[in-house]
Structure 1
Amino acid sequence: MEWLGISYRAIGPELVLAVTGVLVMLLEAFSPGKKRRDGILAAAGTILAGVVALTLWDEGPRLAFSRMIIVDGFRVFFTLVILLGTLLTIFISWTFLDEERIPPGEYFALLLFGAVGMTLLVASNDLVMVFLALETITIATYVLAGYRREDLRSMESALKYFILGAFSSAFLVYGIALVYGATRTTNLAEMARLVSGSLGRAEVVLLMAGVAMLLIGFGFKVATVPFHVWTPDVYEGAPTPVTAFLSTAPKAAGFAAFLRVFSLTFAPLGIESVADQLAAHWVAVVTAMSILSMTFGNFIAIAQTNIKRMLAYSSIAHAGYVLIGVLARDWAAVAFYLLVYTIMNLGCFAIVALWARRGDERVLIVDYAGLGFRQPMLSFPLAIFLVSLAGFPGTAGFIAKFWLFKSAWGAGFPELVLIGVLNTVVSVYYYLYVVIVMFFREPREEVARVPLSRAFVATLVVTVVGVFYLGLLPTRVFAILNAAQSLLAVGMR
């Protein structure tokens, strides 16, 4: 594999996003309040970053910046998923910014800076870079969660997010320190080489403690049980477009890093190595996290009356499903699932954001009564997204879950697959309950028609088409991801 030193091309998408974010802030400083201009510039920068990322696809696995950055097919794919989530969040946010009458420049800039951290995270080949990227993400998202400064719920959610986020970051950085103390390196490729052999007893103990700390840190970032406690309150209190962003793009980035650190660097080798000793422990812990996340998330979601809290617990359950793919070490299945989840969840939150109004967000499930045939442009897409989240055949959600479960079954986790299937059946109840309320319950008040902006229509088109295209014609995406997966191990050596 070609080794590179400084290569600005390797961080091209990040540079485009960062420059666009700075431009948006400068324009806002000298000519404030131009939502349309700032939104168009932010969207254009995100699209340009995606084009730059695509140019890296065929270059093959290579390293840059003293082996801290990796360029491979999965880095590019996850970057595109993050950019898709960022772009759709920008579209969703236009109506929200009009309603709330808050400055658009800083808002769009924070979205872009958060996306910079996420794309750097999926490109990280070093634990120091992983930590820096995660902190870039969290600083931007802390501010976004509390962007409505006059709303006490928003401020409360931001404060909880900040305190628990700082706590998890402490675990993460302490874990990195322990791992470095055991291996004398923070580079993932070098670490993989070292743990494929043997280390002294003291080093193995240090390494196990460090890996445990890393699991806690990553568990918080991707919202798995028992590190999920921030999720419902933050999702409920944050502005709805911000909740859409938090539930998708950071989750994709976090799982990409989780995969690179655990499923590749500390992967079991089938020999008497340090990696196998580590895997015996982290696989058991992640299995428990997966089962608890699926079960707790789905059963608690049933009791929710607030649709944002319901989707928050749903996201915890989906994190449990993704962990099944992590355990199966099937990167392609995990990447596909996260792409599908990003599309479905952003579609749901787009409709929740549009249905809200100033002074009354209408986030109770009963607020959706009568929406069915009175607002078909909202109700039918929302029903499609919910059915897909439940995993009904013909939708992308079904294909994504089927691929994950198939991989796990082949990898020797049949019990986990059975638990996943049973939890999927449980989830059908609360997803279909919202659909029943929309189509078969009378509204509490007259349902006024909601005007649809072009940005919102574009979001609906992309998400609805994505759900059916990936559900009915996923073969090409499968082929792309499997090709990228075949080069993955080569890229780390």
Structure 2
Amino acid sequence: MNFFALQFAMPDLNFALLMPELIICVVAVVVMLVDAFAKPTQRWVTGGISLAGLIAAGISSGWLWLSWQGVTEAFNGMIVLDQLRLGFTFVFLVVSALTILVSMVWVENERLPAGEFHSLLMFATAGMMLMASAGDLVMVFLGLEILSIATYVMCGFRRTDIRSNESSMKYFILGSFSSAFLLYGIALTYGATSTAAGLPGTTNIAMIARRLPDAQYPLLLFAGAAMMLVGFGFKIATAPFHVWTPDVYEGAPTPVTAFMAAGPKAAGFASFLRVFLFGFPFVVTAGTASIGGQIHLAWLTALVVLAILTMTVGNVVAIAQNNVKRMLAYSSIAHAGYALVGFVAAGSASDSAQRNAAVSAVIFYLLTYAVMNVGAFAVVQLIARAGDRRTEVEDYNGIGFQSPWLAFCLSLFLLSLLGMPLTAGFIGKVMVFRAALDQGYYLLVVIGVLNTAISAYYYLRL
């Protein structure tokens, strides 16, 4: 065989589409190098560098937004540039920036290695951004693992605290199981998308949709979709895949809990939306309703059930919590249910305009939730002080007299999480519920409103 005569197709290496992620990765390495030579009194330097990197990544994303001319792919479809990616990227950058601001005081008070923490946070941010930009299931898994590994270490960052170590180990073990479900679902989807014409299977999300009419093994597709649903359900903490959340959130350092409750949850929704909406749409081409429609209907039915279960379990169990971090953990579970309401609306939309409106509602809701959630945990961190000692509800008695400004900020954040009128959280819930009403999910919206009323008890309890 003449190897010199072989023709190789060069991949589409458009690194401009990866510029925000590359900036974050470079900053993560720079932070580690600076930390190695910085004095103990200069812990703030790594936080400043990380914030500068996030701003640079934000500027790069803004440039991509302004120059965006429609859906663009690179690296043979592994990376996608669209509004879904750009919207979620903004959420990730905001969450990471707020987490850095919260953590700078924390690492100083507890004399922790700031450079290591900020570097891990940067790598976790890069993983989230890759999940939102992934056009291939393999890239989704790669981004998820980058995020997960960094988060596992961050959970156990307070090495001398047995609660922090226990939190890290629980998250690692259960996270590994969820990753295995997701990976096996990807493998089944790859095998099921092979065609009778001899074409091998595919993990490209857009190609999966085009292969649905010719899929030889529809049952494998159903199984693959179900396993990916379990994997994503764990990452966004939907019931009944939420059991890890309270223990992990309570044991992890408060800044890490604030990040986990907002960033990885939003990243899970980004990948979940992309795989669900673009990989298994209701109609791809003529004649796909038999397979694509059945899978899509199954996903929608499962999402409706998960949304109801997640909202209800999160709010009802939160009422019985006496630990503030556990209460906010169950609150985050309930908020995942509210976001799923918008997800269901996006999956049911009959045209691209309605779908884009529903997706925009989900992104805005997650953004407002993330900001208010990180803010609430920041106040909890300031009240708890070093070691997370004051995290019981009774510790907040009289906080309005001791620290009026902290009490005011906490009240503002909690009222927004509740969805009180004139707050950003209220606007987010209205957008999500309106999208569901437009698709005829009246009962789902009623259940969402009732759950909002239930949540008023534990929010106003503080």
TM-score, normalization by structure 2: 0.91
Contact conserved, 1:39 with 1:94, CA < 8 A, in 2?
Answer: yes
Matches within 5 A, 1:377-392: 377-392=405-420
Task: Please say if residues 381 and 388 of structure 2, whose CA atoms lie closer than 8 Å, have aligned partners that are also in contact.
Answer: no
Residue of 58, 72, 75 corresponding to 1:62: 72
Selected match of 1:199 from 215, 218, 221: 215
User: Within 5 Å, which residues of 2 pair with 1:10-159?
Assistant: 10-31=17-38, 33=40, 34-58=42-66, 59-60=68-69, 61-159=71-169
User: Which of 399, 412, 415 is the equivalent residue of 2:443?
Assistant: 415
In structure 2, what is the equivalent of residue 466 of structure 1? none
SS in 2 for 1:361: coil
Pairing 1:344-383 to 2, within 5 Å after superposition: 344-383=372-411
- Partner secondary structure for residue 321 of structure 2: coil
Contact 1:241 1:350 in 2 (8 A): yes
Task: Indicate the residue corresponding to 2:282 in structure 1.
Answer: 268
Q: Which amino acid aligns with 1:246?
A: M
Q: AA paired with 1:206?
A: L
Aligned equivalent of 2:189: 179
Structure 1 residues 185 and 238: alpha-carbon distance in aligned structure 2, compared to 1, 3 A threshold: same
Q: How far apart are the structure 2 equivalents of 1:14 and 1:399?
A: 30
User: Structure 2: which amino acid aligns with 1:165?
Assistant: G
Q: What's the CA shift for 1:187?
A: 0.4
Query: The residue matched to 1:9 in structure 2 has which SS?
Result: helix
Bigger shift: 158-167 or 23-32?
A: 23-32
Residue 127 of structure 1 deviates from its aligned partner by 0.1
Query: Can you list the C-alpha shifts for 1:381-422, whole angstroms capped at 9, x where unaligned?
Result: 110111111111111111111111111111121111111111
Question: Residue 6 of structure 1 aligns to a residue in which SS?
Answer: coil
Call closer, same or farther: CA 1:314–1:395 in 2, change over 3 Å.
Answer: same
Cα deviation, 1:462-482, whole Å, max 9, x if unaligned, reads xxxxxxxxxxxxxxxxxxxxx
Q: Is the 8 A contact 1:24 1:41 kept in 2?
A: yes
Which structure has more RCO (C-alpha within 8 Å, separation ≥ 6)? 1
Q: 2:338 is aligned with what amino acid?
A: Y
SS of residue paired to 2:15: coil
What is the identity, as a one-letter code, of the residue corresponding to 2:38? S
Report the 3-state secondary structure (helix = DSSP H, G, I; strand = E; otherwise coil) of the residue aligned with 1:309. helix
Query: 1:301 aligns to what?
Result: 318
State the partner residue of 1:470.
Answer: none
- Superposition map of 1:425-440 within 5 A: 425-434=453-462
Contact 1:148–1:154 at 8 Å: present in 2 too?
yes
Partner SS state of residue 173, structure 2: helix
In the TM superposition, what is the alpha-carbon distance from 1:4 to its structure 2 partner? Answer: 8.2
Give me the CA root mean square deviation: 1.4
Q: Quote the offset at 1:75 in angstroms.
A: 0.8
1: CA distance, partners of 2:162 / 2:231: 28
- Partner of 2:344 in structure 1? 327
Report the number of matched residues.
429
Mark the runs of 5 or more structure 2 residues left unpaired by the alignment: 1-9, 194-200, 347-357
Instruction: Flag structure 1 segments of 5+ consecutive residues without an equivalent.
Output: 435-493
Contact 1:4–1:62, Cα closer than 8 Å, also in 2:
no
Mark the CA change 1:359 to 1:140 in structure 2 (over 3 Å): closer, same or farther: closer
Q: How far apart, in 2, do the equivalents of 1:334 and 1:93 lie?
A: 27
Residue 395 (structure 1) aligns with: 423
The one of 222, 228, 231 equivalent to 1:214 is 228
Give me the whole-angstrom Cα distance separating, in 2, the residues matched to 1:146 and 1:188. 35
**AA partner of residue 369 (structure 1):** N
Q: Assess if the C-alpha contact under 8 Å between 2:206 and 2:278 holds in 1.
A: no
Note the C-alpha offset of 1:318: 0.5
Distance 2:387 2:181 in 1: 39
Q: Which amino acid aligns with 1:358?
A: A
- SS of 1:430's partner is helix
The aligned counterpart of 1:277 is 294
CA–CA separation in structure 2 for the residues paired with 1:130 and 1:389: 29
Q: How far apart are 1:359 and its partner, in Å? A: 4.3
C-alpha distance in 2 between matches for 1:32 and 1:257: 40
Deviates more, 1:321-330 or 1:139-148: 321-330
What secondary structure is seen at the aligned counterpart in 2 of 1:70?
strand
| SS state at 2:16 partner | coil
Measured in 1, the distance between the counterparts of 2:262 and 2:153 equals 17
Report how far residue 360 of structure 1 moved: 5.0
Matched, 1:252 2:266: yes
SS at 2:303 equivalent: helix
Deviation string, structure 1 residues 7-49 (Cα, Å, up to 9, x no partner): 1110111111111110110111233533111111111111111
How far does residue 264 in structure 1 lie from its aligned partner after superposition?
Answer: 2.7
